[in-house]
Structure 1
Amino acid sequence: MPGRIPWERISGDDVETIIAVYVCRENPDAIRIRPSRGDGGVDLLNKREDGSYDVYQVKKFATNLSDSQRKQILNSWERVQQYFNERHWTIQNWYLVLPLDPTPENFVWFKETIQNHSSFACHWKGLTNVEVWASAMPEVYDYYMADGKEAVNQQIKSLLSAAQQPDLRDSKVLTEKLLRYAELLSSTDPNYAYSVRIISKYDKNGLVFFNRPNLLYSASITNDEGYSVVIEAIAKYKASSEFAPLKESGTIYANTPEKEKELLDFQRYGTPFNKMPIKNVSGNLKLPLLEESKHVISSHISLLAQVDPHPLTLILVSGNKHIALKQKSHTVGYVGGEWVGEDNSHVIHVRLRTDIDSLKSTLQITVRLDSLSGCEVLPAFHAIDFLYEVSQTKMMELQTLDGETVYCKSEHLDDTVFDEEKIFPWYELLSSLKTIHDAAFVDFKCPDFASLKMTHVRRWNEIEHLLRGELVIRHWDSFKFVKNADTNVDFPAGVIVYSKLVAPIGDQSIFLGYTQLFFNANSIDLLPDDKEYVLHSSSDICDLLIEHKYEPRKPEDRDNISRVTVGPLMNLSEYQQYVLPKE
């Protein structure tokens, strides 16, 4: 990079690109927007922690401003405000960034025309700021204006040459070489960093690719023995693909009906696809997945869902119930766009597709009840509660956060998805869990419903009644306890037990307080281990057990917990009318 960059002799597009990259490198989460047309410049947004934005308007002007250039700056400032007002966003700071420090006249104009008429802070970042960035990031200018781009290409070739070894088992030497090339490449490329790793043929999951923020490209080369090298290109800032796109061209073809549908959806709506065959590849990025080599077993390309910096949340509404849907993906193709979202429980999955020309939308809702196992209790209940409401109202709307209707569906609902008879048992189950969750001292998740015991479900129903201050009355056959004294008791007798109220949730026991039980026992036996005793019931003395929630009034009252008290027979016949006959 030269000692001083001659900004006035560089094309306007190059000036704006270089300075925009400086801003993005300093603010890696910044994204590029295009709120205006015809006035030139680059707008960058950086979202702050409080939800407001800093806006950077990059201009190419490097000499004293003309009236026309001042008008362009003013238009940019006005149009950005319009863009934000339409979206109900808040601007915290607006920065005019250009390779020109303000003259006294320009400073007065900027203050009187823009600063004094703004509800947000406005700043002029001029040549002084730009030269500080240029000094700190010399690779940016070298890449766009000198030989930096060619250096990156040569280093990529060196990295590929090292990766395409006939035998990858000598991992120590190869790893050192790959890391050295990747480190040099990362320092030369202002837009991307590169990581490499060697995958053993015994690591069956090593070549599973997954998306993550700022990962733009991930590829692998595998030799005949099954050993692989993975190379990944990671954006140094979110807008890197705007200023330095990774381009490849080739022929993607579908070899199965399922792949044909994936490819068609990608063309029509821009949806991601997984492991599509590709051939005749050429472009400016020769990464190993697409490199011609005798060691390449096959060539495939996968397009993963992009990480949206501004995901859209939509609301499903039915009757007096609603549930929020978080965006999973938002894509656009030749025919239209697709928005995919799901609720916090991952039970309700929504796919909205809109045709660009006709604006006709189709809504597909998928319910995944298997996602309930291991889910947080509250999101699981809210999902089932909403589905139960839909099964009764037979209508729903998809709305924005401010209540605007995106899609309305009041007929032809899928009865297999919104079947009241199918949903109601889940509604009862999750209602019991929510009641228990609200009363618990600790948080817990839903159990594995596939292996749920019906004895646990019955106990949840009983606990619901107890937590509401109601009595639980049931028939009983036997009751085990540890006898701490050798006092002889004549049976039949009345029995009172104070115990902990515990809900069985999977393999957990959730403490909820205390209960008191009272019942009549006909006889008592000592179990073979000589420690536990078992009480037996009899219909002759009313084989009912009555349980209610017990609240110790004093700390010493808890001394009664787990204590079994035996006394005279109790008259329990008045409770007989509240229970069904014993089967």
Structure 2
Amino acid sequence: MSGDEVEEVVAIMMCLKHPDCMRVRPSVGDGGIDLLLRLLDGSYHVFQIKRFTETLKAKQKTQVSKSLARLVAYAKSRNLRVSAWTLVMPLDPTKENFFDWLQGLPAPSDVTPTWRGLNFVDGLAAEYPTVIDYYLHGGRDRVDLAAAELTKLLRLHTTSDAGCHPLEASDAADTLRALANRINAQDPHYRYDLMVTHDSVAPASVDPNRMVVFWQEQFSHSWVTIVVRARFDDAPAVRPVPLSVTITVEPGSELERQLREFHDYGGELVLPGANADITMHLPGGLTPEGGTTEAVRIRSTYTPAPFPSEIEIVVVSPDGTELGSTVAEVTSSTTGVSGRGGRYYGTEANGMFDITLQINRETSEFRFALKSRDLDGLQPQKLRAGAEMLAHLGAPNVLLLRNPHGGQVVAQTPITVPLADSPGLLLDVIEALLVIQRAAGRPIRMPALDHFHIVKPWLDAAHLLRVGELTVRWDCVRCAPEDWLGQAIAEAEGDEVGPLGLLVPLEVEIGGLSIALGDMHYAVPSARVVRRPGEDSDNYVVVPAGDPVATVTLHTSAPAPEQP
């Protein structure tokens, strides 16, 4: 084996032993391969892999010494804490090499260099024979062949000729198990999860951990899904998945505009198959035959923020008056190929809506998109700021992005869409629930907001609690026998009476809970008492005799009964 092959194979076996290793090969000179393993305390164990197989000479010792010196300088410049350093190579040390030379090397503070030699490397080879087979005995060809056999076998079993029974998941169990074991026993870089299902599997439902390829195809009435996962973090760098896409679009078309935005800002681009020519070489022989068929979806890498980055979203009037503001937490982003801009994805701090910001870094111009979230169960008081901002989100107002801590304006853009038909309705509902919550003396959570007729009683009750008086249109009020009408109710049946004063409980139903808020007094100018249809003789209702308008006041003490 060449020196590079030795280092490559040993590094891969070490990565299989420690899948979280980060693999680093110096870009210039002969520095071997470094593996950085992050430990639980935040420090790093560094493995330096060398190709040497014979007793070290002065030149080889110098190479090791220089590698260690580079590590010391790198760790110091990056404030990297190294707690262990191990030299790994297929050569066992002599006593002189280990005690007199290695132990005397200038290592990072509090680090004693160690040596893992031929016995250790032979042990790795015994533990990971697939690596040796793949690199030295033609194993890479057998990996591709095994996957190809899988797809051929599945096509054979799912042929729709007359008399053939469509493949069921249970029919393929033994075949899948045998082929999965065969493939996974041969590929040192990737492992393959195989599934046969009656319905297609959504990529979003699959664990994304180290997923490199999601391959799916329909055979007759069954779907075959193969998920290819890296066995260690650095596997795609060791065994890349080469892919190139040639995109053809008509100048001035909508697709061209989308392509330019994707090029500048990242995000997601969906291309019809006729506009994308793809060449690739997937691991396991899973490269599609015949190129692209229907569509190609290309996504930029979403870079998660190490912690949410806060941005204040402010709506101001054309004269600069602040109308409403809230804070959003940006949790991930994408960057365009051109580097001109990026897209930032986040959520309003209290979970009211999701936001996407498309920012041009060169001009500070930006575009935005909001997507409402389910508010059911959230605290109304935490949603007020976001609702106030949304109530003013429309032309001719202006949207600002501001640093919530320093107050500096980061970017601004005019709002081109007009205000909604009822822009402040959500804010009115939230403020009504807050008034009801204070009056009831109990916590209220946001219920489902399906129709306006659900929230109308909340708005009326809150207005009455705030102002003390309300004019309403009414259709009927139920009278129980113990009401003030008493014995006169039978005599008044069918006749027009008025004015009347009726005492009615003030209750609202919010999220399936009935909340009592006291009583309200209805002042009715004209009414008629009628028996409820289908009810016994003791049940009556009062209905309007003329204009169905009543003045409602909040009842604080029992009013004197008004007689017809």
For Structure 1 versus Structure 2, the TM-score category normalised by the shorter chain is 0.5 to 0.7
The letter for the 1-side match of 2:512 is S
| Greater Rg over alpha carbons, structure | 2
In 2 relative to 1, CA 247–489 (structure 1 residues): closer, same or farther, beyond 3 Å? farther
Structure 2's unaligned 5+ residue stretches are 161-165, 315-321, 490-497
Q: Are residues 1:151 and 2:128 paired?
A: no
Which residue number in structure 2 is paired with residue 447 of structure 1? 449
Within 5 Å, which residues of 2 pair with 1:278-297?
Answer: 278-279=276-277, 281-283=279-281, 285=283, 290-292=288-290
CA RMSD of aligned residues (A): 5.2
Which residue number in structure 2 is paired with residue 99 of structure 1? 88
In 2 relative to 1, CA 325–353 (structure 1 residues): closer, same or farther, beyond 3 Å? farther
Which residue number in structure 1 is paired with residue 69 of structure 2? 71
Deviation at 1:104, TM superposition (A): 6.3
Q: Distance in 1 between matches of 2:476 and 2:213?
A: 65
In 2 relative to 1, CA 261–241 (structure 1 residues): closer, same or farther, beyond 3 Å? farther
Q: Distance in 1 between matches of 2:25 and 2:328?
A: 29
Structure having the higher helix fraction is 1
Deviation at 1:229, TM superposition (A): 3.2
Which residue number in structure 2 is paired with residue 231 of structure 1? 226
Identify which of 160, 166, 170 aligns with 2:167.
Answer: 170
Which residue number in structure 2 is paired with residue 119 of structure 1? none
Deviations 1:63-121 (A, max 9, x none): 87854233122123223327xxxxxxxx7x85545527995679977998424xxxxxx
Tell me if structure 2 keeps the 8 A contact 1:162–1:174: no
Deviations 1:140-190 (A, max 9, x none): 565456654333222222222223336162334345323431343234334
Which residue number in structure 2 is paired with residue 330 of structure 1? 334
Tell me if structure 2 keeps the 8 A contact 1:321–1:389: no
Tell me if structure 2 keeps the 8 A contact 1:273–1:303: yes
Deviations 1:410-447 (A, max 9, x none): 4x512326x59874444434444566689764644542
Q: Distance in 2 between matches of 1:535 and 1:34?
A: 89
Which residue number in structure 1 is paired with residue 398 of structure 2? 394
Q: Distance in 2 between matches of 1:45 and 1:422?
A: 57
Within 5 Å, which residues of 2 pair with 1:249-328?
Answer: 249=244, 251-254=246-249, 257-274=253-270, 276-277=272-273, 278-279=276-277, 281-283=279-281, 285=283, 290-292=288-290, 298=293, 300-304=295-299, 306=301, 308=303, 310=305, 313-317=308-312, 318=314, 321-328=325-332
Within 5 Å, which residues of 2 pair with 1:423-438?
Answer: 423-432=423-432
Q: Secondary structure at the match of 1:81?
A: coil
Q: Distance in 2 between matches of 1:44 and 1:435?
A: 58
Tell me if structure 2 keeps the 8 A contact 1:45–1:53: no
Deviation at 1:285, TM superposition (A): 3.6
Deviation at 1:243, TM superposition (A): 3.5
Q: Distance in 2 between matches of 1:254 and 1:279?
A: 12
Q: Are residues 1:515 and 2:518 paired?
A: yes
Which residue number in structure 1 is paired with residue 551 of structure 2? 544
Q: Are residues 1:244 and 2:245 paired?
A: no
Identify which of 332, 342, 346 aligns with 1:342.
Answer: 346
Q: Distance in 2 between matches of 1:515 and 1:345?
A: 32
Tell me if structure 1 keeps the 8 A contact 2:304–2:331: no
Within 5 Å, which residues of 2 pair with 1:416-565?
Answer: 416=417, 419=419, 423-432=423-432, 441=443, 443-448=445-450, 452-453=451-452, 455-465=453-463, 471=468, 473-475=470-472, 477-481=474-478, 483=480, 488-490=486-488, 495-498=502-505, 500-503=507-510, 508-519=511-522, 524-530=529-535, 532-536=539-543, 543-547=550-554
Q: Distance in 2 between matches of 1:386 and 1:110?
A: 63
Identify which of 410, 414, 423 aligns with 1:408.
Answer: 410
Percent identity of the aligned residues? 14
Which residue number in structure 1 is paired with residue 317 of structure 2? none
Which residue number in structure 1 is paired with residue 318 of structure 2? none
The letter for the 1-side match of 2:159 is D
Within 5 Å, which residues of 2 pair with 1:64-213?
Answer: 66-81=64-79, 96=85, 98-99=87-88, 113-115=108-110, 127=116, 138-140=129-131, 142-143=133-134, 147-165=138-156, 167=159, 169-171=166-168, 172-198=170-196, 206=200, 209-210=203-204, 213=208
In 2 relative to 1, CA 494–423 (structure 1 residues): closer, same or farther, beyond 3 Å? closer
The letter for the 2-side match of 1:158 is E
Deviation at 1:527, TM superposition (A): 0.6
The letter for the 1-side match of 2:147 is I
Q: Secondary structure at the match of 1:216?
A: strand
In 2 relative to 1, CA 502–222 (structure 1 residues): closer, same or farther, beyond 3 Å? closer
